[in-house]
Chains A and B, each alone.
Chain A
Amino acid sequence: MNAMTEIDAGVLQVRDLRVELPGQVDVVSGISFSLAAGEILGLVGESGSGKTTLATALLAHARRGARIVGGQVHVGDQALLSLEGEALRRARGSLIGYVAQDPATALNPALRIGHLLRETLAAHPSGLDREAQQQRLIETLRDVGLPDDHGFLRRFPHQLSGGQQQRVMLALAFVLRPRLIVLDEPTTALDVSTQAHILATLRRLCKSQGVAAVYVSHDLAVIKDLVDRVMVMYAGRIVETATRDELFSRPSHPYTRGLLAAIPDVAGRRELTAIAGHAPAPGRRPQGCSFGPRCERFTAGCAVAEPLLQMNAAGRGVACLAPHDQALQVKALAPIAALKGRVELPLLSVSGLNVAYDRQVLFDVSLQVQPGECLAIVGESGSGKTSLARAIAGLGENAEGALDYAGRHLPLHARQRDAGLRHQIQYIFQNPYRALNPRQTVYQTLSAPLAHFFGVKGAPARERVEAVLKRVSLPGSVAGLYPHSLSGGERQRVAIARALLCEPRLLICDEITSALDVSVQASILDLLRQLQREGLTMLFVTHDLGVVRAIADRVLVLKVGRVVEQGAVDDVLDHPQAVYTRTLLEHSPSLR
């Protein structure tokens, strides 16, 4: 399909779309593209790139404070941005469907599933009588893979699993048979297996009904098997657009290449390269190319004017003065030094650990961590991986079992551990936005453990804080800042620094990269590997098998509170024994 026919058959045409914040600060601008019937477009970018703003602007909606100030959005022959009131209401839903990021919050907790579906049908003139409406409803539920019985329709959203909730969102979008569907990271909150099933359902529906789709995602690996075409956004602009195969085989824009080089791949250990610096916020974008300050190929010409998106005849476009034309070479890494054969006293051993709250979440879990190794604990939500990490850290209540640390008995409650032992086991939390006290400067946060554990205050404390900031690659000036002026990646570095100041031997990392962008994740993983080389032992909790491949020596797979498999990373990921591990691997997104 070439560019001309694409535009002719276009279901969606966007011209020069621009969304502003007050003060003429643009969030996205100069967006033009088109979509054919049945075509699935992947819209990729990191947080702050404007991808969600663009996605909702396609439905003529801007979040509070923002405003669509220019451009056109045509769906079929309807000019969406010029519609108002009742006409706009009718176009939303019937022409364009929308699927939000988190189904748990996007479904009204007070309304039943059947009520939502019927209301959506009734809100638009469909020309269907009562019976036909019921027929359509049942058909749609079957299409998205949900039960269609009366009992299911009478359920409330909280009575469904996350995957089912997202299927309901799909049903709400597809029940009106729209021509275009916009999906804003619909699987981010879901487990990999659920995600794989939802993506397959979506692709089947789009292709069979000829519905075009815009799929917003921050992760290139997730959309690889779903989309026909990819559009990469950076700082509110499209920087590259290409067919899927072309983009993954020959990425042109330095930013696209940076993204691809930063994604850990479950299929093989590769060297992860982080993109230096971070994305500029709206209103703080530099003169010329927004990516310029982070780009290796930056020349004086890049700072003069913003490079335009140059389209070639094949429908491929790049906004760069010096685009790459080679395939991306990612260095494969040798396996991390195997610890096989080394029999030492384990640093930590857990035996027969049981944890129960209202119900039991861990059943007789036993594991050992050798000094200097990184053990990954993998599982889906509800597998008990965080409960396990918290129990080892001494934070978990209701735990029973035996812990041994460096040959000594380790009490289950942190309170009962003596201070000399406590500082050796440190915990880093998942969400860096909540792990730092917003009312304390970085220096206050970092100096507290020094005073607490070692009685170090004043000038020596300042020296140590400066040294640790350097160790986690943060400038010393960060010490005087409050957390709100730091980015997510910087906050997580501060959290790591806080743990390091306690001089730990065992570091427990609970999904510490899952709230971060891929390029930031790469730099954090790099830091952790370096710390590991310096002799730190790590327990790394994650749901992402790609991250496991990138960082761990050994892996332990948890399923609903039980260990189903453990072993050296390459053994488990290349030759999984348990059926569960195999399904997980099958459903994990990969770049290969």
Chain B
Amino acid sequence: MLEPANPPRTPAWLSWFIGRLGYGLLTAWVISLVVFIATQALPSDPARVILGPDAPLESILTLQHQLGLDQPILWQYLRWLGSVLCGDLGVSLDSNAPVSRILWGRFGYTLALLVGVIIVVVPGALALGVALALRRDSWLDRWGLSLLIFLKATPGFLLAIGLVLLFSMPHMDFLPAVSILDPDLSLLRQLKSLVLPIFALSLTALPYLTRMVRAAMIEAQESDYVIAARLRGIAQRRIVWCHTLPNALVPAIQGVALTLRTLIAGAVLAEVIFSYPGIGTALNAAIQMRDLPMIQAIVLVITLAVVLINLLADLLTVLLTPKLRTARRVTLIQRNRRGITPWWRRSRGDA
């Protein structure tokens, strides 16, 4: 029924968030374990994999010693985890440079790519989704939706290659087909090289997000509260921006998070096509060179990024939903949409 007029001093969502942060750290630890087991602890011998089947035994033994593979597995893991925690990701087997230094630049480039995509996709999807929702069932809406589905159905690499053919062939040479960046120049001076990869990734992400915004807007527009506001004489513009959009934003945030998660994975592909020097190409090269510390570090960084994105999206969801923000105990249903109660909760019952 009634809640006290003076809410408690520390909001419930803060303790919820601290709990989620703990879960996030736990997830990160599990991920480190999985990465380690998959790359180093499995029965296949990394040293032999690296040197190839014809390598003489003594060079394999030397490499095993260099990699610390001759030590007990638990000790190997603890040592690896310890150095990762200290920021030391090891030395690249391929280039002999510290992994963290190589990755730092690469990760920055990928981050630039993702930020670029977000800057294009989020406002684009919001504007397009709202526009289509407002003109629901008109020819614009129908054609717009068809186009979006077409884009969605086209594989990302095809889109990317199509863009290269369109913009970078000799007869219309607007943009560079490959994005070879000069590490000595700032990114802002090389924006031209970023355009095509951002464009390609945006096109793959846009359909999903636009349709999500459109659906959420339509649902909000048909809600009782919008009809009630309209019958109170509130202006249409105000209804759209103040009444509908705040409620449509929450599913959109979860959509952005999902988009980002797929983009990080999808970046590998786009980066390879445009030879963009981000972590995608780095991972691709590292796998080809069997550069073990590189692979471990990149996979770890990607998975940590996913955990972080989830955490931020959930935090934003809670902060943007008054009911969750002001609740005395935050339970985010979105994580558990199918109504499956985890076993450790069952006895308490969420009926």
Contacts and interface: CB of A to CB of B under 8 A. Distances in A.
A445 to B, nearest CB: 23
A357 B351 CA distance: 7
Given A397-B349, A397-B351, A159 B231 contact: no
Contacts of B321: 109-110
Contacts of A10: none
A102 B224 contact: yes
Which of B233, B235, B320, B329 is packed against the most chain A CB atoms within 10 Å?
B233
A524 B60 CA distance: 84
Contacts of A176: 232-233
A358 B351 CA distance: 9
Contact of B227 (A61, A172, A357): A61
B226 to A, nearest CB: 8
B233 A92 contact: yes
B351 A172 contact: no
Contacts of B6: 151
B246 interface: yes
A102 B224 CA distance: 8
Given A64-B222, A105-B225, A158-B323, A123 B234 contact: yes
A108 B243 contact: yes
Contact of B322 (A106, A110, A160, A382): A110
Given A64-B222, A108-B225, A109-B323, A151 B5 contact: yes
Interface residues of B, number: 35
Contacts of A100: 224, 227-228
A123 B238 contact: yes
B124 to A, nearest CB: 23
Given A111-B243, A161-B2, A93 B233 contact: yes
Interface string A65-104: 0000000000000000000000001111110011011100
A156 B2 CA distance: 11
Nearest to B320: A110
Given A98-B231, A172-B232, A106 B225 contact: yes
B199 to A, nearest CB: 34
A107 interface: yes
Interface in A107-133: 107-112, 119-120, 123-124
Given A110-B247, A156-B326, A92 B230 contact: yes
A232 interface: no
B231 A92 contact: yes
A511 B350 CA distance: 23
Contacts of A169: 228
B159 to A, nearest CB: 36
B172 interface: no
Contacts of A98: 228, 231-232
Interface string B171-196: 00000000000000000000000000
A156 B323 contact: yes
A289 interface: no
Contacts of A94: 233
B54 interface: no
A368 B57 CA distance: 85
A97 to B, nearest CB: 7
Most buried by A among B2, B228, B323, B349: B228
B344 to A, nearest CB: 15
A275 B322 CA distance: 47
A299 interface: no
Contact of B247 (A109, A123, A151, A358): A109
B70 to A, nearest CB: 55
B234 A120 contact: yes
B346 to A, nearest CB: 8
8 tightest A-B contacts by CB? A93-B233, A98-B231, A105-B224, A92-B233, A110-B246, A156-B322, A93-B232, A108-B225
Given A89-B234, A106-B227, 17 more contacts: A64-B222, A89-B236, A90-B233, A92-B231, A92-B232, A93-B231, A98-B231, A100-B224, A106-B225, A107-B228, A110-B247, A112-B322, A119-B238, A120-B233, A169-B228, A357-B349, A398-B349
5 contacts: A92-B230, A92-B232, A92-B233, A108-B247, A119-B242
Interface of B: 1-3, 5-6, 222-236, 238, 242-243, 246-247, 320-323, 326, 329, 348-351
